Structure 1
Amino acid sequence: MDAIVKNFPLPGDLSERPTQQEAEEAVRVLLRWAGEDPSREGLTDTPSRVVKSYKELFSGYDQVAEDVLGRTFEEVAGYDDMVVVKDIPFFSHCEHHMVPIIGKAHVAYLPDGRVLGLSKIARVVDIYGRRLQTQESMTAQIAKAIDDTLRPRGVAVMIEAEHMCMSMRGVQKQGSTTLTTTFTGAFKIDAAEQARFMTMVRSR
């Protein structure tokens, strides 16, 4: 499906962010709300651990995909066929419930004289994954970042993921998987290219 790309806030004035102390106090409030005693031995260091883990889990807000994708290579010996990086694992968090989304991304593009380092594609998946997300937005954001920076003949992105907001709460349907796709350029207008991408993703 094609998704609307949200404009996520990029890093700005870090002084606008709450302090570490304020963030830790917020965790203590949540612990009390859940019925716990933040002062008991097992929880005394939990607020600082949670804040530290959040800094890692949401590190995507401090990174810009265009910076990661900025370096490209033109010495490709005339190669102009599809480049596919599949089964890229990622962990994200649902923006509605702040619980994990666990999945893998498959990304392809058709070069137009330039190619990306393969690790850059995986890093872009991580950048958007390490933000509060919907799967639809994340799929479109990855495609748009590659499309805008590399200007290839087309980009294809597929994400398969399990949402803990469906598995752990609500309908509690463990093992259900959500699949989203975004296509640009030749992938969008040529059904044969879409089919070729899907076949390459599904091949083992």
Structure 2
Amino acid sequence: MENHFANLIQDIGEDLTREGLVDTPKRAAAAFKYLNSGYHLSLDKVLNNAIFEADTEDMVIVKDIELYSLCEHHLLPFIGKCHVAYLPKGKVLGLSKVARIVEMYARRLQIQERLTKQIADAIQTAVNPAGVAVVIEAKHLCMMMRGVEKQNSSMMTSSMLGLFRRQISTRSEFLELINRR
């Protein structure tokens, strides 16, 4: 991977012997591997048996989970926050596991629409709740730094499963709660 970054740097007309660039291919390769480290994780590995019996059916929400991902079309970052809710049916996830699921899928080449669905499907698979809701709000550097160059634009996506899809009151409660500041 280092050689590929070295070639990219040379192909834009830079001098790899310049002091600031000597170790850049090595650093860029390490950064790219880290930014895409989600490929080496699985749902079972991330959950690590942190699923617990719980006598509750009330909504569980984890909001403002920061996320960083790379757009699969331009390899540029998109940055935002994710809000996740589920309605337990006898089982709950360890709190950090929700954020770890977001991280696992965000650390892959992505489009926001797929990322949102992958997170919802993973929560559904993990604890089979009565419903799952995921909303992601993100700014895409591929739209901000190039192309249309719209600095203040952001994208919102949602995935609603189970009761969040079928019951407007449940969906509305979730949306109201994540919009409280």
Tell me the TM-score range normalised by the shorter chain: over 0.9
- Would you say the 8 A contact 1:66–1:145 is kept in 2? no
**1: distance between equivalents of 2:158 and 2:124?**
15
**1: distance between equivalents of 2:73 and 2:83?**
24
Give TM-score scaled by structure 1 length: 0.86
Runs of 4+ in 1 over 4 A off after TM superposition: none
- Would you say the 8 A contact 1:147–1:155 is kept in 2? yes
Q: Does 1:71 align with 2:50?
A: yes
Structure 1 residue identity aligned to 2:63:
K
C-alpha deviations, 1:78-119, integer Å up to 9, x for none? 221000000000110000000000000000000000100110
Q: Does 1:184 align with 2:146?
A: no
Q: Kindly indicate which of the two structures has a greater share of residues assigned to strand.
A: 2
5+ residue gaps, structure 2: none
Partner of 2:40: 62
2:3 to 9, 13, 25: 25
How big is the shift at 1:44?
0.8
- Would you say the 8 A contact 2:39–2:104 is kept in 1? yes
Aligned residues: 180
5+ residue gaps, structure 1: 1-22
Alignment of 1:111-130 (within 5 A): 111-130=88-107
Q: Which has the higher contact order (CA 8 A, sep 6+)?
A: 1
Alignment of 1:1-204 (within 5 A): 23-69=1-47, 70-74=49-53, 76=54, 78-204=55-181
* Aligned CA-pair RMSD: 0.9
Give TM-score scaled by structure 2 length: 0.97
